[in-house]
A and B are shown apart, each in its own frame.
Chain A
Amino acid sequence: MASPDIAASLGLTAQEIDKAERHEANLVDGIWIFIVGDLFIFASYFVTYALWRNWEHGIFLAAQQHLSLGFGLFNTMALLVSSWTLAAALKAMRAGDFDAAGWLTLATMGFGLVFVVSKITEWSVEVSHGFVFTSNMFSQFYFWTTGVHILHVFFGLLALFRLYLEVKDPACRNLATAESAAAFWHMVDLLWLVIFALMYLMR
């Protein structure tokens, strides 16, 4: 907050000082509040899945055979590599190497898009084989959970795009945005690892 003398010398109006005070009062970015809540929400979905898997064990096991382990592994690798490039981008930003940070952020978005294209292709293959949302209870959970996850991937891509714009503009560079976007993206990655383990690996 600017002291009254500084504010007077800058010619700030009372309204502008008030805005500056509000901005400084909100230094905590708040992404962790979102992440903790989102993890709780997803945990409730996973518990529901586990219960239904227990109740309809045979149906779930048979339906899981429709999933391609290859696609699942490829998607997992795409997201893991994207998390690594984003961590490297953050490291470059902290070191003041914004060119590298820009390229690494773009690479992260690229791997995110590879995940999206791969996931949509995987869905298309499954649907073409007659495995659709209404096939059984497992398919409902599968399409729904992966659908919610891809929605998070889209949000993550938007956050990364915003981060890229900030990295390219020296006037807008902000480490708090970078850390928030990275924390969100790693959460998306973590959620996928749980989905991959629950739906593809636990057969």
Chain B
Amino acid sequence: MTGAVPPIPSGWFAKMAWHLRHNPKADLWVAWFSIPIAYNIMGIVYFTITHMMPPPDATKNHAQIVEFFTKFGFEIRLGFGIMLVSLAFLVWANDLIGWLIMKMDIPHVKAWGYAYMIAMCGGGFTGAYMSAFTMSVASMRPDRDPAMLEVLYDLTYISFDGTMGFFLFGSLIWTYTILADKSRLFPKWFGYTCIWNFTTEFLVSPAVIVHSGPFSWNGTIAFWIDTVVYILWQIVYVFMLYYAVKRVDPPQDRFRLKRIARLTGQLTPHPA
């Protein structure tokens, strides 16, 4: 085996295979691609399959809640079945982000990286897993006691809003690390925009206090404006991660050093 690496082919699949085979950052790119894939799956599941989003009225009565779970029972279970699998992508995504934070030039960088990952785990558990479990359990037997269905219905949306504390903490870590990072892995303006996200997470808290109006869980401010800001920020964030992965040095392990050496033509022929 020699150190020669073939040139990058032109076809989409061939190019992807080449990168998986030769790119020293192949695993980072796989982790990056998992982010748009996971968020798109989650968006489709929440908004089109399960009818969980936009959130239905917080003032629904017993009969309306029973009707909701009876009417959308199959879709809810199908959607959350898909989502529970796709959540695995988010584990990669959070690892990538935690690792990128650890590549920054700030004091206690590992602590910030792990703190971010823990915050995201908390958010993922309350927002995605808890709401998936409660919705699926309620839709599995819609002939249960309506009071029980009502508990599961409220628990779904309150636990979904419960993610906000974790995401708020995560946004705070983003803001601090990006602004304090001397290596400028991310542009400073992106650090400031994390404050938008921090603020919007904070603003969902009234949803557990009021049942109707703009601050309820389906309200103009607590849901619609927050969601628009979050989605716009999320698009910027995915692009920022893309540029950060392009910019960052690959981990310096033997496997990758070998790939780098092959790419730069410095690898000595492998002894037979």
Contacts and interface: CB of A to CB of B under 8 A. Distances in A.
Interface in A33-58: 33-34, 37-38, 41, 44-45, 48, 52
A26 B244 CA distance: 14
A144 B210 CA distance: 12
Contact of B196 (A15, A26, A31, A34): A34
B247 A22 contact: yes
15 contacts: A15-B249, A19-B184, A22-B185, A30-B192, A34-B193, A34-B195, A37-B193, A45-B221, A52-B213, A133-B210, A134-B209, A134-B210, A137-B213, A148-B202, A155-B195
Contacts of B210: 133-134, 140
**Majority secondary structure of chain A interface residues (helix, strand, loop or mixed):** helix
Nearest to B211: A134
A198 interface: no
A40 to B, nearest CB: 9
Interface residues of A, number: 30
A102 B249 CA distance: 40
B190 to A, nearest CB: 7
Nearest to B193: A34
Contacts of B105: 19
A26 B184 contact: yes
A129 interface: no
A31 B192 contact: yes
B164 to A, nearest CB: 14
B54 interface: no
A121 to B, nearest CB: 22
A127 interface: no
A34 B202 contact: no
Contacts of B220: 48
A27 to B, nearest CB: 10
Interface in B37-78: none
A15 B248 CA distance: 10
A169 interface: no
B15 interface: no
Contact of B183 (A22, A30, A133, A140): A22
Contact of A144 (B185, B188, B215): B215
B225 A19 contact: no
B191 interface: yes
B9 interface: no
Given A19-B105, A140-B215, A29 B188 contact: yes
A30 B196 contact: no
A120 interface: no
Nearest to A45: B221
A6 interface: no
A34 B203 CA distance: 18
B206 interface: yes
A31 B196 CA distance: 12
